[in-house]
Structure 1
């Protein structure tokens, strides 16, 4: 009996890469493996290790899709926070696959929308009833920051790439003004990612309190109710709400906003406490207009892999 055709999907983050096999749009959860990027010289060696570790017959892998944390152009991408180059043509040659794609990681998250279990969606703001084709928006906070719209059209799903994390921080938040020069990675241009990311949490805390500590420690202190950490958390959430609201006005995602990524999940329990909704909707005369947009936090850690598989399955 000939085994069913398989796809190989990979999600390359700033620190780790996850690789898995998928049948159609469904990722085989028991096939997921995680690898530390520092131990490899590129995605090719990661995939080679994965194939060596797996007992699956790889002859029937007919599609490959890689999601990466960085800009992609014409099937070629370079990771923003890692010195790897991802090339669609090289992947096709290495695995002899018929269908090969390289996506920005937020594009992959966009392709996953609609394939995520309800149990992996935590409502922040209720989603009004809209047409299934209404535009959606995915916003991701992890090693970096990015966002991309999701459009369902008669020709299929379209998820355009974006590098939204590298636009400038909003000037509407007065608390940020005196600390912009203290954001050490800004190189004179304080971008959204310098605050809304893992390292951004640490940078924000250092700018506010002069203490450089790990973001996980800051989250732990927030959980303990420490005043300085809570100040950092409150400003972080205010910036997130403001930036998310700006992106909503740019794309009008009446089908909902989906917050993804490890940093998002870490702050999810504090969004209400630190006023996310107020910051999100605070748009002057358009504040009432903002009530039309639902917001959810995605807790599915394999969403990017699912998005890769879904993208390949749509042909």
Structure 2
């Protein structure tokens, strides 16, 4: 018997809901809802299920934008309470899984269609079957998680990698780190490698050159691609260098011979700029280990359904373990 599962991806602004049959996501069932229009998650589900035929739900898996501790998710930018009992009530099932929004795409790795993937850095050899992978999210925030294959199923441990120290190599890097210090005087990676981080780097380049900061978000990337702003171009190159350096550091910590996967809106927005060489130079700038870095392929995930696909596969794997 094929089970029908409720799958959810909850962000700070929107919630996406879908149905899955076993590990297969029903692409036609995906719907997006604005969180501000609903009192809570249960209200979103109550509005969704009648639109897909009010199916009998036999399990639910939710990816939430925020850390998950002891079955409770601390959501970003929304005051909903999200825990296992709440999800169970909303879906009408006792079989519930709750992941954070980066663990979910970790469970999708190896289960995404090739057309949703773009090679950024090929490896010297094909990825080893069952080898550890690494998912690096560059979006509203920054985070990274390893993906382990174990005899009892896939393990994607939680992490807060965006809040480690920014790596400093040059005097300019040091000036940038002081510029992006948060309210606690701490230069975290996320203050550079995120949506607001790109804006921070752009404003810093403007301050360094005496220019007025006139661009925001995707405008910075567009101006860099078109060559319209020296400061935007410099900001993107600085961003790519740091992204390469940090991703390379994470690769040496986790040894992801199964591949590194970049996800998130900022990573996707950078697109072809990731292939300009700056990212690769930062990634492989590891002294005597520079050649070793060529063993790790880097892939950009363009399929934004990855969290939903990961949730469906995680729930199915739990059932069949």
- What is the TM-score when the length of structure 1 is the normalising length? 0.93
Give the corresponding residue for 1:17: 15
Contact 2:127 2:297 in 1 (8 A): no
Alignment partner of 1:126 is 2:128: no
Contact 2:11–2:76 (CA under 8 A) maintained in structure 1: no
When the two chains are superposed, the root-mean-square deviation of aligned CA atoms in Å is: 1.8
**8 A Cα contact 1:122 1:296, kept in partner:** yes
Contact in 1 for aligned 2:62/2:97 (Cα 8 Å): yes
The residue correspondences of 1:2-81 to structure 2 (distance < 5 A) are 4-52=2-50, 54-58=51-55, 60-81=56-77
Seen in structure 2, the aligned counterparts of structure 1 residues 23 and 6 have a Cα distance that, compared at 3 Å, is same
Aligned residue in 2 for 1:104: 100
CA, structure 1 residues 130+274, in 2 after alignment: closer, same or farther (shift >3 Å)? closer
Q: Say if 1:180 and 1:313 are closer, same or farther in 2 by CA, change over 3 A.
A: same
Query: Quick check: 1:6–1:22 contact (8 Å CA) kept in 2?
Result: yes
Cα distance per residue 1:80-128 (max 9 Å; x no partner): 4443332012211332213101101111000001110111111111132
1:186 positional shift: 5.0
Does residue 267 in structure 1 map to residue 270 in structure 2?
yes
Q: Shift of residue 198 of structure 1?
A: 1.1
- Equivalent position to 1:229, from 221, 227, 232: 232
CA contact (8 A) 1:122 1:298 kept: yes
Q: Distance in 1 between matches of 2:205 and 2:36?
A: 32
Using the TM superposition, give the Cα deviation of residue 166 of structure 1 relative to its aligned residue in structure 2, in angstroms: 1.3
What is residue 216 of structure 1 aligned with on the other side?
218
User: Are the aligned partners of 2:166 and 2:177 in contact in 1 as well (CA < 8 Å)?
Assistant: no
Equivalent-residue separation in structure 2 for 1:175 and 1:84 (angstroms): 42
Moved more, 75-84 or 120-129: 75-84
Which residue matches 1:156?
A: 153
Structure 1 range deviating more: 190-199 or 229-238:
190-199
1:298 aligned partner: 301
The answer (yes or no) to whether the contact 1:183–1:190 under 8 Å persists in 2 is: yes
* Structure 2 equivalent of residue 198 of structure 1: 195
Large movers: runs of 4+ above 6 Å: none
Asked if structure 2 preserves the Cα contact closer than 8 Å seen for 1:205 and 1:212, the reply is: no
Given candidates 233, 239, 244, the residue that maps to 1:241 is 244
Measured against aligned partners, the alpha-carbon deviations of 1:50-101 in whole angstroms (never above 9, x if no partner) come to 224x13223x111111111211112111024443332012211332213101
Pair 44,174 (structure 1): closer, same or farther in 2 beyond 3 Å: farther
Indicate the SS of the match to 1:259.
strand
CA contact (8 A) 1:7 1:309 kept: yes
* CA–CA separation in structure 1 for the residues paired with 2:53 and 2:68: 30
Of residues 76-85 and 7-16 in structure 1, the stretch that sits farther from structure 2 once superposed is: 76-85
Unaligned runs of 5+ in 2: 208-212
TM-score (norm 2): 0.91
Contact 2:45/2:90 (<8 A) preserved: no
Equivalents in 2 of 1:18, 1:167: separation in Å? Answer: 30
Tell me, in whole angstroms, the C-alpha distance in 1 between the residues paired with 2:201 and 2:183: 12
Alignment partner, residue 283 of structure 1: 286
Which residue number in structure 1 is paired with residue 210 of structure 2? Answer: none
d(CA) in 2 for partners of 1:48, 1:235:
46
Q: Which residue of 2 aligns with 1:176?
A: 173
